[in-house]
Amino acid sequence: MAEYKIRHETLYDYTEPVLLSHHLAHLLPRETLRQKWLSHNITVCPTSSVKEEHLDMFGNRVLSFSIEQNHVHFSVIAEGEVVVSPVERMQGPGPIWEDVAKRMENPETPEDFEALPYRFFSPLAVFDLSVKHYVELSFTPGRPLYEAVMDLVHRIFHEFRYAPCTTRVGTTVAEVLRERRGVCQDFAHLMVSGLRSFGIPSRYVSGYLLTYPAPGKIKKIGADATHAWVSVYIPPFGWVDVDPTNDLLVSDEHIILAWGRDFGDVSPLKGVIIGGGPHRVHVGVEVTAI
């Protein structure tokens, strides 16, 4: 069991005053069987005039708020402490992927029905033949789903280059596949799209990852960012989380914020503003082991 302190700050500097703004934040962490939040707080500056919390269709906690005073600086800081338990591992090879795909055509259990929304394409995870052809090298006939998933994780890690600032939020999966580069968000979208092209439910997971400095270096405060990985439905075991960016099964160093069909469902912060003009944004995440 591991305990962490989290600080996630988002700062905006505008060249002209913002007259009015409305925001939606997926920064309220969800409780799961393997993680428990001991404390959590979100500070908004300027102070919001309207604020409310609700659950979205995926069970994530969402904070909506409005700022109704002129401002040229805007910040949202989320802080908290969380305890994360080790991840339970699958025993045995598990079902073959064709059986899972066929089962999802005629769901058998409440868990199957809950997984159905993650079986179909979504705005940022659209699959086409190029994606399916790439994934089918791992999904050979009669192969256990878990084995096929891990093979795909290995291939994405070794065949794609992690390259920040080379993609954008709207970069398509086909572009990522063609350029063979991107960031965790892109690799998660590629894997989610590929799995769904074979009828396998998969979720896009947003959260934090404990990182380590290079040998001989000191870890920079606030230098990290939010992380993204993939959760695959493997009945009857349940959901298995994998990280194609780092070529591994998710461990107790991954902290979950929210999950959905793709990034658009779980964007940490988005909104609409009146005014503002050109602006600069800074996002910093610090995960510290206690």
pLDDT in tens, 238-284: 999 999 999 999 989 999 999 999 999 999 999 999 998 899 999 99
Q: Smallest Cα–Cα separation from 287: which of 217, 224, 205, 215?
A: 224
**How would residue 91 be classed by pLDDT, with cut points 50, 70 and 90?**
confident
Q: Whole-model pTM? A: 0.93
> What pLDDT was estimated at residue 218?
59
Q: Which range has highest mean pLDDT (26-30, 145-149, 170-174)?
A: 145-149
Helices H / strands E in the chain, number of each: 7, 14
**Residue range 97-264 in CATH 3.40.630.30:** no
Token pair listed for 204: 């896009």
Q: Is CATH 2.60.40.2250 the classification given to domain 2-85+267-289?
A: yes
Residue 54: strand pairing partners? 62
pLDDT at residue number 235? 93
Considering all CA atoms of the chain, what is the largest pairwise distance in Å, rounded to the nearest integer? Answer: 61
Q: Residue ranges of the domains in the chain?
A: 2-85+267-289, 97-264
Q: What is the pLDDT of residue 216?
A: 67
